[in-house]
Structure 1
Amino acid sequence: MLRLRLLTWDVKDTLLRLRRPLGESYAAEARAHGVRVQPEALSRAFREAYGAQSQRYPNYGRGQGLSSQQWWVDLVKQTFRLSGVHEDRILTLVAENLYHDYCSARNWEVLPGASETLSQCCQRGFRMGVVSNFDNRLENILSQCNLRHHFEFILTSEAAGFAKPDRRIFEKALRLGGVPPEQVAHIGDDYTRDYRAARAVGMHGFLLQAARQDEKLEVPPEHILPTLSHLLALIEKG
């Protein structure tokens, strides 16, 4: 059995996921202001705008003096502009409403097995924290989704100043937990940002790998979680 004291968790697509495609939520908000845009067009525009914004202002613009709210509002406006909407007053309203909407359980749902697995991990005496490339809304989102109470700390990339796979965000999590890396395991769905990055600082790693991911990764089978419900059995086997 692995001698683990602390488990750190990724959030998006590990514990929580969006309730519906982003393009649908954006289109619904635009409709409320009398603007019709196709959800698919918004999804495509968002991917393009997100890529450009992340490159220009990494980690929510934290190193360049932006707030994450400004970062997101600018990104949403750019998404709509790329989709052919240019009325500035409406864009500002829509962008600010969407920023606040994504702070609530209205747009997020808990992944199957997540609540049960977190509760079982607490019952077994594991301490737990979050390490996520997220902005400062995360604590509130986790509270709204009734998961916050499981965690001793919530470390976002915005607060840390570094985004996964930068080793410094994991080093900060280790300091917060006060536990050496060999007694910590990180659970996430991204091979590079979660699994490899955690192992690079000496932590254990478990990769949540949904059936749709068929790329061949260099991950031993005992580190792969087909679902979150497999976690405790793998820890006990290890």
Structure 2
Amino acid sequence: MNNLTSNVPIRWIAFDAVGTLIFADPGVAETYTRIGNRFGADLSTEIVRSRFQKAFAEHQRTFSTNEDHELNFWKRVVGEVLGPVENADDCFNELYRHFSLPESWRLADHAAEVISVLQSEGVGVAIASNFDRRLHTALDGHPVLCDIDVRLISSEIGWRKPSQQFFEALVDRCECAPDQILMVGDDFANDYTGARNAGLQAVHLGAGRSDIDSEFQIGSLADVLPLSRCGL
């Protein structure tokens, strides 16, 4: 892992989306259960949650991607989670559309305040996400997120985190040196390790990892503001 230079001024902060800035509300398992059972799945939320975690982990996606790859991935996941249902295409389409709706996502605590302060202080704000084009409509429905026009979405740029190509595209969009970008995310491999290996600064959102120095861990988005002013 790269040893990054201390006290490099931060010009841009790039946030992961799901699990960092936004959270499914209701949760993924609850939504799959509700919609799936309307189409005859007859499953408990606990079973759906277990199946989802297993299916999501087993169907590892390659670094290269596009809209078709992402769509097919989710079709496989939904099929394995819900099993046989009535009108399977309609069931999938309803689920797929659900997660494009702004009202299906809640903002993380402190997200609105942190983004507003960063923008007022002249720090660039970007979103860097492993998602598909549905993320645009989800973000556009939240006032504090809709004005963020630097959005790196894996299905659109053709590469997923933690690939080097994804972070190179982020650097190109921000038009600055890699170590002037701070990546903030909840996924250790995708957001933290991937960014640091590409020469960016990074912090992991979430406490308790023994394999990261405490200075590179934050427990809340509110902890981003001091970092944006002094670097790491």
Please name the residue that 1:110 is paired with: 107
The answer as to whether partners of 1:2 and 1:235 remain within 8 angstroms in 2 is no
Q: Deviations over 1:5-24 (max 9, x none)?
A: 11111111110011133221
DSSP-derived class of the 1:20 partner: coil
* Cα distance in 2, alignment partners of residues 127 and 226 from structure 1: 22
Distance 1:20 1:163, change over 3 A: same
Please name the residue that 1:185 is paired with: 182
Identity %: 22
Asked if 1:227 corresponds to 2:220, the answer is yes
DSSP-derived class of the 1:106 partner: helix
* Cα distance in 2, alignment partners of residues 61 and 169 from structure 1: 11
Distance 1:214 1:4, change over 3 A: closer
In the TM superposition, residue 216 of structure 1 has moved relative to its aligned partner by: 0.6
In the TM superposition, residue 91 of structure 1 has moved relative to its aligned partner by: 2.2
Which of 1 and 2 has higher RCO (CA within 8 Å, sep 6+)? Answer: 2
The answer as to whether partners of 2:8 and 2:179 remain within 8 angstroms in 1 is no
* Cα distance in 1, alignment partners of residues 158 and 93 from structure 2: 24
Deviates more, 1:89-98 or 1:117-126: 89-98
Distance 1:34 1:195, change over 3 A: closer
Deviates more, 1:123-132 or 1:138-147: 138-147
Of 212, 216, 219, the residue aligned with 1:218 is 212
The answer as to whether partners of 2:133 and 2:153 remain within 8 angstroms in 1 is yes
Residue identity matched to 1:178: E
Residue identity matched to 2:225: L
RMSD of Structure 2 on Structure 1 (CA): 2.2
Q: Deviations over 1:13-60 (max 9, x none)?
A: 1100111332211111123335421111111112222233x33x5369
Please name the residue that 1:208 is paired with: 205
* Cα distance in 2, alignment partners of residues 33 and 183 from structure 1: 49
* Cα distance in 1, alignment partners of residues 17 and 179 from structure 2: 22
In the TM superposition, residue 188 of structure 1 has moved relative to its aligned partner by: 1.0
The answer as to whether partners of 1:68 and 1:136 remain within 8 angstroms in 2 is no
Residue identity matched to 1:126: V
Residue identity matched to 1:214: G
Q: Where does structure 1 lack aligned partners over 5 or more consecutive residues?
A: none
TM-score by length of 1: 0.85
Residue identity matched to 2:71: Q
Please name the residue that 1:79 is paired with: 81
Distance 1:178 1:206, change over 3 A: same
Number of aligned residue pairs? 225
In the TM superposition, residue 186 of structure 1 has moved relative to its aligned partner by: 1.0
* Cα distance in 1, alignment partners of residues 224 and 199 from structure 2: 19
In the TM superposition, residue 180 of structure 1 has moved relative to its aligned partner by: 1.1
TM-score by length of 2: 0.87
Distance 1:204 1:59, change over 3 A: closer
Q: Deviations over 1:150-199 (max 9, x none)?
A: 42311111112221111110001111111111221111112221122212
